Amino acid sequence: MLSSEALDELMICRLDSARRSVEPCTIVIFGASGDLTSRKLIPALYDLHQQKLLPSDYRIIGFARSAKADDVWRKELLAAFEKLPRSRRVEPGAWKEFASKVHYCRGDIDDGDSFQKLKTLVAGFGAGPLSHNLLFYLAISPSRFGQAVAQLCQAGLLCRDDPHGWQRVVVEKPFGHDLASARGLNHELTRHAHEDQIFRIDHYLGKETVQNLLTFRFSNALFEPLWSRNSVDHVQITVSESLGVGRRGGYYEEAGALRDMVQNHILQVMSLVTMEPPVSLEAEPIRDEKVKLIESIRAIPPEQVSRMVVRGQYAAGAVNGAAQAAYRHEPLVRPDSNVETYVALKLHVDNWRWSGVPFYVRTGKCLPLSASEVRVQFRPTPNVLFAARCGPRLDANSVTIRLQPNEGITMRINGKVPGASMQIRPVRMHFSYDAEFGAYTPEAYERLLLDAMAGDATLFLRRDEVEAAWTLVDSIRAGWDGVPMGEREFYPAGTWGPKSSEDLLARSGHAWREPQPLQRTNPAPDRAP
């Protein structure tokens, strides 16, 4: 009989063997001089190289308008890498080997000759897979996506059907700013490539703890039978940020919290928490279930937005002892801006599993701490025995999945305090990723880049998924259209949002459970009683 450790190893091997192999390929990064390339993409590719997870042969090409030689760009990338936190150290030998495969191509997306120059550079890698297996990463403004894809197609670098290899396009969010623009962008992209060649990336889905939601739900018999309206009272999803908009005021004026966070990150997390079991762990069955879930979220008509949605904007205050200016005083922000930096919603999922269960989601800037977590609150026990005797001291059970930071899972149960009296208080059982698996957690872009090279679209968004999310968000924005922010919608920086967000839950007898700065030992108690 196999030991439990051997069984664990066998399961890991089986899951790993299901992953697709990564063939030799060339990765072309458009927007090579941008912040995303130097801070995220190149470090992620270097880490994959160091772990020997990249294909046996590969090339990386940076495409941007500035004129520079390969060696100059390599030195710039190394200098940027060395400014990252010390946990991301560069090993000189590994970097030298990695940098030898990094090249630079000067070009402009509006210039067809630039793409011919890129084609010549790719062809110089030989007639094998390096010139046919091509991954194009569009780290550029979404307004340029269509032009870039059209130029790639015209230059013969992007083909719908290439008998000698494959070509894929990775696009960064935002995928439009409303349903109409998202549909227009999708139409532009699919004019030149098949849907299965388009990889819409949401870095949130690359986080280990987000991926673990499916494992937690569908591999544990302890929880799956409880994961429905029969046992769950309500669910809270919080994505809080302690920072303000900083230098992103111009972007935030166009986006706001609803578009920036709810339409993509939060709805993605909600779909993984609540979707039905897929028929397999392949990409399409998982994405099918996510789409079904998002389409099952009850629409909020504009006339009901004031009751089901709370928006807010941070005023001057202090976060962690540091003074914080009001949003309207941030650079590139209009002095009379009505853009929301906080949003809370009460959502319902109209399907058999979740009928009648409210889902409270919120996100905001300049809140007391940065944390992302899902709290599943179970129904209280019947009002007999301990519930009758202990009253509010007997808290309902819950499972909290901390996505970041201090990733882990906490179960909240009731326990008797030692002593002669029958005193009961909530206690926690906590699982920490660091304690169990070690401190290293792969960067989200490592997993997503590797999956894109392998052609595994599981963690990427499909066209209908994006459009379903925008359908929900557009209706809410229509309810805000032309309505100025009121006094109760402003909140001091360093607090948990406007007072009206508490009313949103209080009407149903619920209260927000604030995320805590979890410790790896002896976590602090919840704020809510």
Residue 251 per-residue DSSP state: H
523: pLDDT confidence band, cut at 50, 70 and 90?
very low
Give the per-residue pLDDT at 392. 60
Least confident piece of the model among 30-39, 129-138, 434-443, 498-507? 434-443
Q: Is the pLDDT of residue 4 over 80?
A: no
426: pLDDT confidence band, cut at 50, 70 and 90?
confident
Q: Which domains does the chain have, with CATH numbers?
A: 23-172 (3.40.50.720), 205-438+466-506 (3.30.360.10)
Which of 265, 329, 430, 510 is flagged as catalytic? Answer: 265
Give the per-residue pLDDT at 8. 46
Give the per-residue pLDDT at 204. 79
Q: Closest Cα partner for 67 from 29, 37, 105?
A: 105
18: pLDDT confidence band, cut at 50, 70 and 90?
very low
Q: Which residue did the predictor score with more confidence, 518 or 129?
A: 129
- For 144, counting Cβ atoms within 10 Å of its Cβ (0-12 exposed, 13-18 middle, 19+ buried), the class is middle
425: pLDDT confidence band, cut at 50, 70 and 90?
confident
423: pLDDT confidence band, cut at 50, 70 and 90?
confident
For residue 523, how many C-alpha atoms fall within 13 Å in the half-sphere facing its CB?
Answer: 24
Give the per-residue pLDDT at 249. 86
Q: Is the pLDDT of residue 277 over 90?
A: yes
Could you report the per-residue pLDDT of 354-372, keeping only the tens digit for each?
Answer: 999 999 999 999 999 999 9
CB atoms within 10 A of CB 370: 16
148: pLDDT confidence band, cut at 50, 70 and 90?
very high
Give the per-residue pLDDT at 439. 56
Could you report the per-residue pLDDT of 279-327, keeping only the tens digit for each?
Answer: 988 889 999 999 999 999 999 999 999 999 999 999 999 998 899 999 9
Residue 485 per-residue DSSP state: P
Mean pLDDT score, 460-484: 93
Q: Which residue did the predictor score with more confidence, 257 or 207?
A: 257
Give the per-residue pLDDT at 229. 96
Give the per-residue pLDDT at 20. 60
| 177 is known as an active-site residue | no
464: pLDDT confidence band, cut at 50, 70 and 90?
very high
278: pLDDT confidence band, cut at 50, 70 and 90?
very high
Mean pLDDT score, 175-187: 92
Q: Is the pLDDT of residue 519 over 60?
A: no
Q: For the chain, what percent of residues have pLDDT higher than 70?
A: 89
Q: Is the pLDDT of residue 350 over 70?
A: yes
- End-to-end CA, the chain: 48
Mean residue pLDDT of the chain comes to 87
Could you report the per-residue pLDDT of 489-512, keeping only the tens digit for each?
Answer: 999 999 999 999 999 999 999 999
Q: What is the DSSP string of 124-170?
A: TT-SSGGGTSEEEEE-S-GGGHHHHHHHHHHTTSS-S--TT--EEEE
Q: Is the pLDDT of residue 87 over 50?
A: yes
